[in-house]
Chain A
Amino acid sequence: MHDRVAIVGIGCTGYRSISPGQSYKEMIYEAAVRAYADAGVDPRSDVDSFVTVAEDFHEGTSIFDEYTPDQIGGALKSVHTITGDGLHGLATAYMMIRTGQFEVVAVEGHSKSSNIKTLSEITAYAQDPVLNRPLKLNTHFIAGLEMNRYLFETAATREQCAAVVVKNRFNALSNPFAPYGADLSLEDILSGPMLSWPLGTHEAAEHADGAIVMVLASGDKAEALTDRPIWILGAGWNNDSPSLENRDWAHAIYAEEAGRMAYRQAGINNPLEAIDIAEVDDTYAYKELQALEALGFCAEGEAGSLTIEGFTTPGSGLPVNVSGGSLGMGNLLDANGLARALEIVLQLRGEAGSRQVEDVNIGLAQSWRGVPTNSGAVLILSN
């Protein structure tokens, strides 16, 4: 067994709202070339196995794993696909290396959402075909219901959710990868059009295209490859009830359970004390507040007031989504978790440029698989 596993290479195309000049294969190739150069590995001879994350309906192709090997250098090598988020992919590579059978594993995730003509119809196809689909529930409508329940049970407010948007989109201005940076006021968000009450249009992340590849290695191999390995301290993932009828609508139990699993591995008892920076799911603004509470950074109902107070801005108590999050970088579908983890790696390496946070040693990335799922993952990294 290899107890220690590190991220030794990262590659990213950057994110944009549309990408007519590049196919998904070209995007993945670009990210892969960067990641292998960063890690100093040749995919054909040095990478033992490859993990990709994708969902058929996002790609418009059945059995999409057919189309994954060539552009990552994995043809006629050991490659498999996880129909999960990028963090599920990283957790998979982490497990594979820990077995002792693999030294170097690459993970790929991408979004080509601009290719999807009917994205809202596609996401609605994730609902139960018998019980829910006949009701013609729009994805954002379900998110609005969930937000309403969260506000009702925790006494959080629409202003507090809007503060998440203001913070994250402002943060995105310092991230050259992020297409949705903006300097907005609370009033701008609150006066915007309603998407599904109480969820406002500005509180839902726009989609974006992009590809991310990471290279992971066992402890000894990582130290041979790089002098700045980013260690995986813990990985956790969890599925709560997929059913809309019997779930807890106010709390992100999946995030709580995934966090618990990752904290146990990392030996973390007090997350707020141990963790210096966090990148959490904010595909809807209220999800960031829900996640911070579920991950034990604050008590239930406190995340909103902490956000208004500025506790989660860069340089404050717990910088959250310094990258700009999904609100600033765009919703990258199955690659969301990889974008989260990428920011943590950049920050822990001290390569985050003008948005670099001082003195960061341990970071957390968290993701959610989107409406109507109740599933997500957590990764804890250190330098």
Chain B
Amino acid sequence: MGMRKVAVVGAGMTKFVRRALETPKELSWEATHMALQSCEMTMDDIDGVCFGTAPDAFDGIHLNGEYASDGAGAWRKPFMRSYVGGGTGVFVPIQGWYHVASGLFDVVLVVAEEKMSSYYPHAQAAFLTIFDHTTERPLKPNLLWIFAMEMNRYMTTYDLSKADIAQVSVLHKRNAADHPCALLGDANITLDDVLNSETLAWPVQRYDVSPVSDGAVALVLAAEHVAKRITDKPVWIEGVGWQLDTSYWTNRDLAYPRYVEYAARMAYDMAGITEPRKQINIAEPYDPFDYKALHHLEGLQLADRGKACELYSDGTASRTGNMPVCPSGGLLGVGNPIAAAGLMKIAELFWQLRGEAGARQVPGSPRRGLAQAWGDLMQVGTVVIMGR
């Protein structure tokens, strides 16, 4: 028996904002409702719900998935929440894929929600509890400085300048100016704006980082026979991959994300992709920091090691380039409500591949796109490849 094909048939998302007045359940339902409406379905058509949200500490709610379940539509329905830290947003559609591909479900909802503003005054403090309780927490590490360490390592290994990396922020924030849900889109931002922004933890400056945000995204996934009934433009999930490296991140090579490479290879194998640089038309690598987009493009085998910034300087990564990168505006521009930000990338590919991305539309009827997320202790890579 062959593999059951799974398609994305509907998508919806809320605005990404710094402080949403809606509760997490309300954000989830707003996105869910939009996704259902986009494919003219109702909850009665949904067999099950897959849900993603990052640490329970943000909301201060134990069993947060159970609490949020009805907001994502899971009343008297099979419901599961999957979890791979920051990689969750691109993992939930993988979870939806295996629900449908298993043959147990024909139509599932995939919902990712994040409300970081409840953690007052700043969600950064919640991240202290992600570190090892004995060896790391006493040092009071925060994410900015561990990623500053990684960025520094990346720059040093490949002899890159701050200006090489800042191009990423400029392109993504400019792209986001065309996204109606974006928090930090700016059509006029310049390299100097990024390079002159406030230093947070050297070499990370304010405009190198994506903003803390609230928001939700939802998709409807369907098996082939249902998808073809619902829409004449299904977008197929062609490949999925995910990898989790050891918890001992201090032993890791910080210059190159091997776990992203392995996850990508898993997805490429499944999708039958042998030359990713030719076969991937749009890339949505995870970009919570500008250097991370470069790091990930290299892990994804879409650029040589230390050379990803050339995709930006030679125009390849632009919306009109050969392989547009983050035409959505990415996390740097649209915003970073963690789990929802990953799923936003999948929604972007859905809209781009259907030719429905409006002002953000990549020209030339792109055939195939890739989205990727990353998370945990610089540890997990999740990859989804979608095609028309």
Contacts and interface: CB of A to CB of B under 8 A. Distances in A.
Interface of A: 1, 3, 55-57, 60-63, 65-70, 74-84, 88, 91-92, 94-96, 98-101, 122-123, 125-126, 128-130, 235-243, 253-254, 257-258, 261, 265, 369-370, 373, 375
Interface stretch (B62-70, B310-318, B322-330): B62-70
Of B3, B102, B247, chain A has the most CB atoms within 10 Å of the CB of B102
B62 A122 contact: yes
A369 B54 contact: no
A242 B104 contact: no
B56 A55 contact: yes
B103 A65 contact: no
Contacts of A239: 49, 66, 69-70, 74-79
A80 B60 contact: no
Interface string B153-183: 0000000000000000000000000000000
Contacts of A92: 80, 82, 98
18 contacts: A56-B57, A60-B133, A62-B56, A66-B247, A74-B244, A76-B259, A77-B243, A81-B84, A82-B82, A83-B83, A101-B98, A239-B49, A239-B66, A239-B70, A239-B76, A240-B75, A370-B63, A373-B63
Contacts of B64: 83
B303 interface: no
Contacts of A373: 63, 66
B147 interface: no
B3 A101 contact: yes
Contact of A369 (B63, B98, B132): B63
Contact of B67 (A80, A126, A257): A126
Contacts of B82: 80-83, 92
Interface stretch (B34-42, B341-349, B352-360, B372-380): B372-380
Contact of A82 (B56, B81, B376, B377): B81
A80 B90 CA distance: 12
CB-CB nearest 3 A-B residue pairs: A95-B102, A62-B55, A98-B102
Given A66-B85, A126-B66, A237 B79 contact: yes
Contact of A75 (B23, B60, B68, B245): B245
A375 B375 CA distance: 28
B246 A69 contact: yes
Contacts of A130: 23
Contacts of A82: 80-83
B66 A375 contact: yes
B387 interface: no
A88 B127 contact: no
A241 B245 CA distance: 36
Of A80, A91, A236, A240, chain B has the most CB atoms within 10 Å of the CB of A80
Given A99-B101, A239-B69, A66 B130 contact: yes
Nearest to B338: A63
Given A70-B248, A99-B101, A125-B61, A375 B70 contact: no
Interface of B: 1-4, 23, 49, 54-57, 59-70, 74-85, 91, 95, 97-99, 101-104, 126-127, 129-130, 132-133, 241-248, 258-259, 262-263, 266, 270, 375-377, 379-380
A241 B55 contact: no
A65 B83 CA distance: 7
A76 B59 CA distance: 30
A126 B61 contact: yes
Contacts of B68: 242
Contact of A242 (B60, B67, B84, B91): B67
Contacts of A55: 56, 62-63
A244 to B, nearest CB: 11
Nearest to B52: A83
B98 A95 contact: yes
A106 to B, nearest CB: 13
A55 B133 CA distance: 16
Of B80, B248, B380, chain A has the most CB atoms within 10 Å of the CB of B80
A62 B270 contact: no
Contact of B78 (A1, A96, A261, A370): A261
B245 A76 contact: yes
A63 B130 CA distance: 6
A61 B133 contact: yes
Contact of A56 (B55, B74, B242, B259): B55
Given A57-B56, A96-B102, A81 B2 contact: no
Contacts of A240: 75-76
B74 A94 contact: no
A98 B103 contact: yes
Nearest to B377: A66
Contacts of B129: 60-62
A125 B62 contact: yes
A99 B98 contact: yes
Nearest to A370: B63
Given A63-B54, A80-B95, A94-B102, 6 more contacts: A63-B376, A65-B84, A82-B81, A84-B81, A235-B104, A239-B77
Contacts of B60: 125, 129
B103 A1 contact: yes
A78 B242 CA distance: 5
A265 B247 CA distance: 38
A123 B66 CA distance: 12
A123 B262 CA distance: 38
Given A66-B379, A239-B74, A253-B76, A75 B246 contact: yes
A62 B3 contact: no
A265 B62 CA distance: 32
Of B3, B56, B77, B375, chain A has the most CB atoms within 10 Å of the CB of B56
B212 to A, nearest CB: 15
Contacts of B248: 70
Given A92-B80, A241-B75, A242-B70, A63 B375 contact: yes
Nearest to B375: A63
Contacts of A242: 66-70
A130 B242 CA distance: 36
